[in-house]
Amino acid sequence: MALRTVMERLDRDMQAVTGAISKEEWALVAELAPKLAKHAEPPLSEKMRILTWLGTDAGKFRGFDGQVQNAATGMEDAAKRGDGQAVIAAFSRTQQGCLACHQSFRQSFVEQFYGSR
């Protein structure tokens, strides 16, 4: 599934943000955060498959994506202000969005589309 490539990219960008925070490179954080907020999406055909599978849970799934988007946008704003504490708070909210979606959907997604755990 193309979603996995999207996720691997998010993973790398999150790690890059961690490195930038450690060095207080706020300009780099401000550059990386939009990659998290406006990440790539799977092609339309895959999106349709995922949405069909999600059914009534589609809103919940999208809500977690929205949480990541909002938090990453907040992180960008905080980084532009050079406000390290706010960057870290927003980083934490971003990761909470990742975790929440994974806890709700990841295992069943893998079972559904790859037929294993």
Residue 63 CA to residue 45 CA, distance in Å, equals 21
When the beta carbons of 65 and 83 are compared against ligand HEC, the nearer one is 65
When the beta carbons of 3 and 16 are compared against ligand HEC, the nearer one is 3
Shortest distance, position 81 Cβ to ligand HEC, whole Å: 22
Shortest distance, position 38 Cβ to ligand HEC, whole Å: 12
Query: DSSP readout, 83-113?
Result: -HHHHHHHHHHHHHHHHHHIIIIIHHHHHHH
Residue 84 CA to residue 75 CA, distance in Å, equals 9
Binding site for ligand HEC (CB under 6 A): 1, 3-4, 7-8, 10-11, 14, 36, 61, 64-65, 68, 94, 97-98, 101-102, 105-106, 109-110
Shortest distance, position 108 Cβ to ligand HEC, whole Å: 8
When the beta carbons of 4 and 38 are compared against ligand HEC, the nearer one is 4
Please, what's the b/e burial string for 36-51 (b: 16 or more CB within 10 A of its CB; e: otherwise)? bbebeebeeeeeeebe
**Cβ distance 40 to 9 under 8 Å?**
yes
When the beta carbons of 82 and 114 are compared against ligand HEC, the nearer one is 114
